[in-house]
Structure 1
Amino acid sequence: MNLTSISNPQLVKEAMRRTEDFVPTNALTSVVEMAPGTLRILARARFALPPVLASATGEKHRSVRTMVGKFFTPAKVMGITEHVRALSVERLKVTAEALDRGSVSRDVPGSSVVDLAESIAMHIPPIIMAELTGLPLPELSLLKRWSRDSLELFWGWPDAERQLHLAHSAAEFYCWLRGEAEAARGTDSLFGVLHAAGLSQAEVCSLGYFLVIAGQETTSLLISTALYRGIEKAQSPGAPAWAELAEPVAAAAHVRKVLATESSVHTWRRAVARDTTLGGIDLPAGAEILLELSGHHPADTASTAYSLAFGHGLHRCLGAKLAELEATLVVEETARALPGLELTGPEPAWLRLLSFQAPLTVNVSGRNK
């Protein structure tokens, strides 16, 4: 895939505003061409992703976006605050108990550690997503496998053999999703509302396929990065203590810095609809551009730069405030409950896909000092 990278934040915003020149038709296209065997597996599952939200344009996109947006209004997000906090406290009790028991990590043999990505970050976003949308969720480990496999299939560089494994997982997820979408007819859940508005079964499943993933997996990845960087920074000489992030203002500033510098969704794609230029670069119709959302903001714009991590304009992430809220509250409550945490073991492996990134583990030891 030949992509022209656009890293200047102002040009990224310009591209997202110029919806006639730069269209999202490639937003959900796999980075590498899928092998014939992969396509056969998906076809047997009747896997289809017609454009509905992230990859759609025009009036239908705006209509669907309005319907989905009603499930993530500012009032509903604020109304979920105490539940996010309560879930964080609940998971932190489990984490503290694990630290007290001396749990053993696979990545650090013989050491008493806990992986915060597994004990905290992966648990909270799925529950909140289900509560806001009325959508059921499968068993958590299954959801995580489906999510990670689908991200790799569409935004990774799997070879033909690896694609077969990922395609079976994606097909399994899609079949589950189709059953849940059908069961939602006549309900006031998100799927029920979409059905009532006249969307086809394939369109409902297309929207649900990536919404279920984006609504929880990308937030879990953001939480993992925020926890990792917060604890890591505190271990540097002269740096503020990790415990200081228990202050709401400090936690919010920390999460916004992570969003500005290494968001879990750090790039996004657009297709060039007609011959045009962007920042002096000639771009022919049919070309593809990679918009870098995070990591290129001038230091003096830190107070606003984080916002671009969720996109800009007509396709800005509908769950932006929710993701930021969840990450901030988890960091705040973790620093309050476990002020003595330290990173331990080797540097973590990172998820590194075209548009997604995060540490795969956040191994810590210690509890209080």
Structure 2
Amino acid sequence: MTSISSPQLVKEVMRRTEDFIPSNALTSVVDMAPGTLRILAKARFALPPVLASATGEKHRAVRTMVGKFFTPAKVMGISERVRELSAERLAVTAAALAPAALKYGAESRGVPGHRMVDMAESIAMHIPPVIMAELTGQPMPELSLLKRWSQDSLELFWGWPDPDRQQQLAHSAAEFYGWLRGEADAARGTDSLFGVLHAAGLSQAEICSLGYFLVIAGQETTSLLISTALYRGIQKGSYPDAPAWADLAEPAAAAAHVLNVLATESSVHTWRRAVAQNTTLGGLELPAGAEILLELSGHHPADASPTAYSLAFGHGLHRCLGAKLAEMEAALVVEETARALPGLELAGPEPEWLRLLSFQAPLTVNVAVRKP
């Protein structure tokens, strides 16, 4: 697989839709073992091309329908709800951080005098699913189940699981797909996202295919982005001219911080394309059938324009429909957290990171209140 890191060439690939197609966008990184395929087949698991992996007029029509749930007006209209949810989760987090809430020795956890809290778990995972459900009218599964299904599916399709691990992940994916089938049927005649797709004539398999990755993208990747933004915001000197954590309570500073994260280490940092016909790209000969990996973040020059971050959401006909929503959610959560808890510092050992082909984020954001 050929990697393309130049932002200019990445944009060119995404513009040249006749030469570079998304047919491999949602295929598994490693071949699935026969046992894995049997589990998925038994569940009637099917992912026909509809949105991220589709092209042509049908793709445009579906994109238009889905896009109506994420218009700028709707995104702006739900901003206060993001703040409200942030406040709820921050109240829980603040109570857990308070010394009075200590139920066992914090010293044994490496945080003298204060309790350590994981903000990936206490804040980042909670807000995006609620916002996604309220915008689309599509109910989400119970949170712990949703997170397990989402994380297992990311690993199954973008990780490197061995055959035994694949089967565990495939059972999870089959459960998720079964839930989607039930939701697709229940949505008939409603004005929810799935109901609109039904009314437009999409089959159950097409609705489930779209829903499978849209449900994940609409909340899991945003939760990962929030985790990274919180972690880098609290980390001292995480990048040149990084503001102090407490300063991110200022809206413009929080928004700029999130744009920096998107430009340097977005939660969706790569994406794939297939070469449709023999062609060249930046002087490189590419044969038909070759696969390329587009590096979406981490390669912008230090003096890049303010729009450099936007590649984190793709470009052109397949640009993420929820780009502004994810950006807004992350900025508001950072802003509200810095305002409510200005004395935070990272605690405990360095976090482990999720490192999949196309997804990355710290798995934990452990914090404590800085001692006076």
Superposition TM-score, scaled by structure 2 size: 0.96
CA RMSD of aligned residues (A): 1.8
Which residue number corresponds to residue 158 of structure 1? 161
Query: Does the 8 Å contact 1:194/1:204 carry over to 2?
Result: yes
Secondary structure of the 2:361 match is: strand
Q: Which one is further off, 322-331 or 235-244?
A: 235-244
Query: Does the 8 Å contact 1:103/1:113 carry over to 2?
Result: no
User: Quick one: which of 177, 192, 195 aligns to 2:195?
Assistant: 192
Distance 1:124 1:103 in 2: 27
User: CA 1:297 to 1:105, structure 2 compared with 1: closer, same or farther past 3 Å?
Assistant: farther
Distance 2:269 2:85 in 1: 27
Which residue number corresponds to residue 109 of structure 1? 109
Q: Are 2:246 and 1:248 aligned?
A: no
Write the mapping of 1:311-322 to structure 2, written as runs, cut at 5 A: 311-322=314-325
Q: What is the CA-CA distance between 1:302 and the residue it aligns to?
A: 4.7
Task: Specify the code of the residue in structure 2 equivalent to 1:102.
Answer: L
Task: Specify the code of the residue in structure 1 equivalent to 2:347.
Answer: T
Distance 1:37 1:295 in 2: 37
Task: Specify the code of the residue in structure 1 equivalent to 2:171.
Answer: H
Secondary structure of the 1:277 match is: strand
Query: Does the 8 Å contact 1:13/1:312 carry over to 2?
Result: yes
User: Quick one: which of 233, 236, 241 aligns to 1:230?
Assistant: 233
Query: Does the 8 Å contact 2:276/2:289 carry over to 1?
Result: yes
User: CA 1:8 to 1:103, structure 2 compared with 1: closer, same or farther past 3 Å?
Assistant: farther
Query: Does the 8 Å contact 1:99/1:367 carry over to 2?
Result: no
Query: Does the 8 Å contact 1:348/1:360 carry over to 2?
Result: yes
Secondary structure of the 1:286 match is: coil
Query: Does the 8 Å contact 2:345/2:368 carry over to 1?
Result: yes
Q: What is the CA-CA distance between 1:294 and the residue it aligns to?
A: 0.2
Which residue number corresponds to residue 280 of structure 1? 283
Write the mapping of 1:211-226 to structure 2, written as runs, cut at 5 A: 211-226=214-229
Q: Are 2:265 and 1:262 aligned?
A: yes
Which residue number corresponds to residue 19 of structure 2? 21
Distance 2:282 2:92 in 1: 51
Query: Does the 8 Å contact 1:338/1:367 carry over to 2?
Result: no
Q: What is the CA-CA distance between 1:367 and the residue it aligns to?
A: 6.4
Distance 1:255 1:237 in 2: 14
Query: Does the 8 Å contact 2:22/2:55 carry over to 1?
Result: yes
User: CA 1:239 to 1:67, structure 2 compared with 1: closer, same or farther past 3 Å?
Assistant: closer
User: Quick one: which of 41, 61, 64 aligns to 1:63?
Assistant: 61
User: Quick one: which of 127, 131, 134 aligns to 1:131?
Assistant: 134
Query: Does the 8 Å contact 2:232/2:238 carry over to 1?
Result: no
Write the mapping of 1:285-304 to structure 2, written as runs, cut at 5 A: 285-304=288-307
User: CA 1:103 to 1:154, structure 2 compared with 1: closer, same or farther past 3 Å?
Assistant: farther
User: CA 1:297 to 1:200, structure 2 compared with 1: closer, same or farther past 3 Å?
Assistant: same
User: CA 1:234 to 1:40, structure 2 compared with 1: closer, same or farther past 3 Å?
Assistant: same
Query: Does the 8 Å contact 1:26/1:55 carry over to 2?
Result: yes
Deviations 1:285-310 (A, max 9, x none): 00000000000001111511111100
Distance 1:88 1:170 in 2: 30
Superposition TM-score, scaled by structure 1 size: 0.96
User: CA 1:103 to 1:95, structure 2 compared with 1: closer, same or farther past 3 Å?
Assistant: farther
Deviations 1:43-89 (A, max 9, x none): 00000000000000000000000000000000000000100011001
Which residue number corresponds to residue 97 of structure 2? 99
Task: Specify the code of the residue in structure 1 equivalent to 2:32.
Answer: M
Secondary structure of the 2:70 match is: coil
Q: What is the CA-CA distance between 1:25 and the residue it aligns to?
A: 0.4
Q: What is the CA-CA distance between 1:356 and the residue it aligns to?
A: 0.2
Q: What is the CA-CA distance between 1:240 and the residue it aligns to?
A: 3.5
Secondary structure of the 2:304 match is: helix
Distance 1:276 1:321 in 2: 33
Q: Which one is further off, 140-149 or 237-246?
A: 237-246
Query: Does the 8 Å contact 2:268/2:312 carry over to 1?
Result: yes
Deviations 1:7-46 (A, max 9, x none): 0000000000000000000000000000000000000000
Task: Specify the code of the residue in structure 1 equivalent to 2:75.
Answer: V
Distance 2:44 2:300 in 1: 42
Q: Identity across aligned pairs (percent)?
A: 83
Query: Does the 8 Å contact 2:118/2:367 carry over to 1?
Result: yes
Which residue number corresponds to residue 176 of structure 1? 179
Secondary structure of the 2:243 match is: coil
Which residue number corresponds to residue 74 of structure 2? 76
Query: Does the 8 Å contact 2:109/2:116 carry over to 1?
Result: no
